[in-house]
A and B are shown apart, each in its own frame.
Chain A
Amino acid sequence: MNENRRQILEMLSTGKITADEAERLIAALESGPATTVGEHMSSIPGSNGAAAGTVKTRAKYLRVLVEADEQMTGRKGPTSVNVRVPMQLLRAGVRLASLIPAQAHSQLDEALNRHGVPLTLSQIKPENLEELIDHLEDLTVDVDSRDVGTAKVRVFCE
Chain B
Amino acid sequence: MTPNFAVLGIATPTRHMPRLWIPLFLLWIPVVLLSPLIFLTLAAVAIVTRTTVWRLISLCWGILSGLPGTDVRVHADGNHVLVRVL
A89 to B69, CA, bound (A): 9
Interface residues of A in 66-123 (CB under 8 A from B): 73, 75-86, 88-93, 95-96, 98-101
CB neighbours (8 Å) of B75 from chain A are 78-81
Number of A-B contacts (CB under 8 A): 71
Q: Does A60 contact B (CB under 8 A)?
A: yes
Q: Are B51 and A60 in contact (CB under 8 A)?
A: no
Q: Are A84 and B69 in contact (CB under 8 A)?
A: yes
**Partner among B62, B69, B72, B77 whose Cβ is within 8 Å of the Cβ of A91:** B62
Chain B, interface size category, equals: 20 to 34
CB neighbours (8 Å) of A80 from chain B are 73-76
Interface of A is mostly: mixed
Q: Are B63 and A99 in contact (CB under 8 A)?
A: no
Q: Are A92 and B63 in contact (CB under 8 A)?
A: yes
Q: A92-B62, A99-B51, A101-B50 are in contact. Are A86 and B76 (CB under 8 A)?
A: no
Q: Are B76 and A79 in contact (CB under 8 A)?
A: yes
Chain A, interface size category, equals: 20 to 34
Q: Are A76 and B78 in contact (CB under 8 A)?
A: yes
A76 to B79, CA, bound (A): 10
CB neighbours (8 Å) of B49 from chain A are 99-101
A120 to B64, CA, bound (A): 26
**Partner among A73, A89, A98 whose Cβ is within 8 Å of the Cβ of B63:** A89
A100 to B49, CA, bound (A): 7
A100 to B45, CA, bound (A): 11
Q: Does B11 contact A (CB under 8 A)?
A: no
A152 to B71, CA, bound (A): 19
Q: Are A83 and B50 in contact (CB under 8 A)?
A: no
Q: Scoring B residues 28 to 59 as 1 if CB is less than 8 Å from chain A, else 0, what string do you get?
A: 00000000000000000000011100001001
Give the shortest distance, in Å, between A70 (CB) and chain B (any CB): 10
A79, closest chain B residue (CB) = B76
CB neighbours (8 Å) of A73 from chain B are 76
